[in-house]
Amino acid sequence: MRTKTAARLGAIVALALFAGLVTAVRDPAPSAASDGRYSADIRRTQYGIPHITAKDHGSLGYGYGYAFAQDNLCVLASWMVTLRGERSRHFGPGALSDDPVRPIPNLASDVYHRSLRESGLLRRLLARPAPLGPTPELRRLVDGYAAGYNRYLADTGVDRLPDPSCRGKAWVTPITADDIWINLLDLNRMAGSTGLKEAIAAARPDGGAAPGEAPDKGPDQATPKPKPAAPGSNGWALGRAATTAKNGMLLADPHFPWNGIRRFYQVQLTIPGVLNVAGGSLYGTPLVQIGHNASLAWTHTVSHAQRFTLYRLKLVPGDPTTYLVDGRAEPMGRQEVTVPTRRDDGSTAETGTTLYTSRYGPVISWSGEAAYALADANVANLRSGNEWLAMAAARDVAGLRTAQRAYQSMPFVYTLATDTAGTAYFSDVSVVPHVTDAQAERCAVPEGERMAPGTYVLDGSTSDCLWGKDPDAVEPGVFGPGNAPAMTRADYVANSNESPWLTNPEAPLTGYPRIYGDTETRRDLRTRLSLDMIGKRLSGRDGFGPSGFTLASLQAVTLGKRNLGAEITRADLLALCRDRPVITASDGERVNVKEACRTLARWKARAGLGDEGAVLWREFFQRLDGPRPRPRAGESEPPPVKDWWRVPFDPERPLTTPHGLDRDHPNVSRALADAVQYFRKRELPLTLMPGKAQHYGSVPVPGCTEGEGCFDRVRTGGPLGDDGRYPDVNTGSSFLMAVELTPAGPRARTILTYSLSADPTNPHHTDQTVLFSQGKWVTNRFTEAEIMADPALRVTRLRG
């Protein structure tokens, strides 16, 4: 142990020999370039928000990496252990990984990440010139970011880190630029390979034990459901016809995890005369993904487009590792992966695993005479950083579109943008497999042979089913910008993770390939609420002043805490209460619901901290679907359940249907009785408020869930407990940004809902969370005068 510690400290000391000087001063004078490799100023304003100013991209990355490490080193250090495939060595093979979107056992995680590291893919991607490979500016930015992180670690020392979660830990080590590139690649693959990494690591041709699992009982493995978890978002781009001042305005409301590596960090990055951008930057990336500059603002929402397809492989009889394409046998590729694992006695053992791949991608399952392979459109996408950097430097929507056409790299998101001219823009110029509707129909595997309904499963036995190509695409196999759904408007575009169809209901988008999403289908409640909020604001019917958007009304509308599910169904529930004040719960108990109904009648259908009845409504509404029926014998899907809506969906009225409750549907009365029974058995008040039931640490959190039809939604880590509290909020509105682009410069209001730092000892660990709890915003400081005027200004001059 002593030797390991000495070696670790030796590495840090070696870094320190080249470190240079750090000076923390109140003097806000700009730094002069030094003769050293890196030179940056970190200016922190209220709530600790860093504004990095540097002479070039390398220095900008250096300052950003240092500032980020000051606030969140332990989160990134833990994630580096994950990306290096070393979690089993340090934390044991059976514990869950720190992936905030889809945690899996450490051993499976290590197998996947080691296979990527050892495949040579990153080296090949970095050898490509732009646009497929990184631009020189991005390379310097990444190099500087890693160096800045290491500089802070060297200056501070592992044993003196302020965050107790990693202080003195053997797994905290310097990082490399490759670590940051792998993190960016992992982010880009989140809706494909990254989300299916457990299936990739677990697939066995003989049904044997996967990493960390018991042996299967037969040769046909339980097929994983390839539906990777992905965060959500709301986004509005408001044009000159929607705003009172005729300026462009934008609302960003990404719904990302509140813990771990997929959190946003708030930052401003400036190279005078070259780049000046502020906004939200995902941990471990030296880029602003959602933000604004002086004349352009943009955001992203998670797209409905498919990012991968599966291929059904026709196996050679008697050989589960050879498959047929055009009648010719092709052996599967093999990769041997060895993972060091910690035993219970503290010693280390090695676990070996064989992974299999095909011409389409990794094999993720075997079933009888077939195997299934994953074809991920983002498998080699390292170019998204190029696009985000180019978007940050664009001056208007036209410039942003040029960046999109050049790189075509958005991994799983739509883009919504606006500029000072008041142009509102939406697009899904992103990485989408080139599968036309005709090819999907021609190559689709019969429904009964699919491993997952709703997923594109293509026939892998013929090369005719390979992905196609477009002349305007940056690479073969994906659609080019000419096929992507896009819209430019003077009023608005909006998205809340539905397909592009109703981006603006006045001009529905149609005609795009089905792999981008559906049309004329039911929209979820959050999407309907979003469009209703915009419509009411444009007509002045929402109580927030005259028609049209101002920055103040945009903020107010965003945090209105409306519950659309309640607005469109509560009247029917209250009518049921009047007719049947005593109803039967699932266990047969008769439950008097009079008091509960009085509570719900008084409730204003909002989810503020003090709204009595909001939690009772959630518990009722979440029970409406009842227990999911089991599939019938021989069927993979359960039988359809009759909808409990009174008025069904009508594609001619997509914004107002379905609505109402069918009072005669058994689920309706049963859901209410069960919810009331749950409260009474635990002696919980029926008036329980979100401020008492919903928290992030010690801070009460307002809001309600997506399923109820809430806009800035939150999600907790589990059901309501016996003590009347949900587990902590773990996902939801994360980086809220409302910005108006005026001729005099941007006016922005932001909230980083979980605050700047994950370190519990940091003064900025919960300060913005308290603001979010209170419905307040941060006034963003963007211009030099605004930054200099901040009384809380602190400046760190960094030379290296």
CA distances from 731 to 41, 253, 386, 417, 501 (A): 33, 12, 28, 24, 26
126, containing H or E segment: helix 121-126
Q: What's the CA angle centered on 505, arms 499 and 507, to 5 degrees?
A: 95
CA dist., res. 770 & res. 28, Å (int): 28
CA dist., res. 190 & res. 197, Å (int): 10
The DSSP letter of residue 24 is E
Q: Is 349:201 a contact under the CB 8 Å cutoff?
A: no
CA dist., res. 739 & res. 252, Å (int): 9
The DSSP letter of residue 514 is G
Q: Is 128:347 a contact under the CB 8 Å cutoff?
A: no
Instruction: Report cis status (omega within 30 of 0) of the bond before 639.
Output: no
Name residue 34's amino acid: S
Q: Which residues contact 404 (CB under 8 A, 6 or more apart)?
A: 387, 391, 410, 415, 427, 429, 481
What are the tokens at 785? 């005068």
Q: Which residues pair with 745 in a beta bridge?
A: 742
What are the tokens at 540? 């002045």
Q: Is 233 a catalytic residue?
A: yes
CA distances from 430 to 287, 400, 415, 433, 478 (A): 18, 13, 9, 10, 9
CA dist., res. 145 & res. 59, Å (int): 8
First to last CA, the chain: 32
582, containing H or E segment: strand 582-584
- Can you tell me which residue has the tokens 């809220």? 736
CB burial readout 432-452, b (16+ within 10 A) else e: bbbbbeebbeebbbeeeebbb
- Can you tell me which residue has the tokens 């830990």? 169
What are the tokens at 620? 């009722």
79, containing H or E segment: helix 57-83
CA 103 to chain centroid: 14
- Selected catalytic residue, list 97, 233, 295, 384: 233
Name residue 589's amino acid: E
How many Cα atoms occupy the beta-carbon half-sphere of 7 within 13 Å? 8
What are the tokens at 292? 């604004």
Q: Is 228:192 a contact under the CB 8 Å cutoff?
A: yes
Closest CA to 713 of 693, 697, 729: 729
Say if residue 463 is exposed, middle or buried (CB neighbours under 10 Å; 0-12, 13-18, 19+): exposed
Q: Which residues contact 44 (CB under 8 A, 6 or more apart)?
A: 50, 51, 67, 792, 793, 794, 795, 796
CA distances from 240 to 96, 549, 595 (A): 49, 10, 49
Q: Is 660:645 a contact under the CB 8 Å cutoff?
A: yes
| Residues annotated catalytic, as ranges | 233
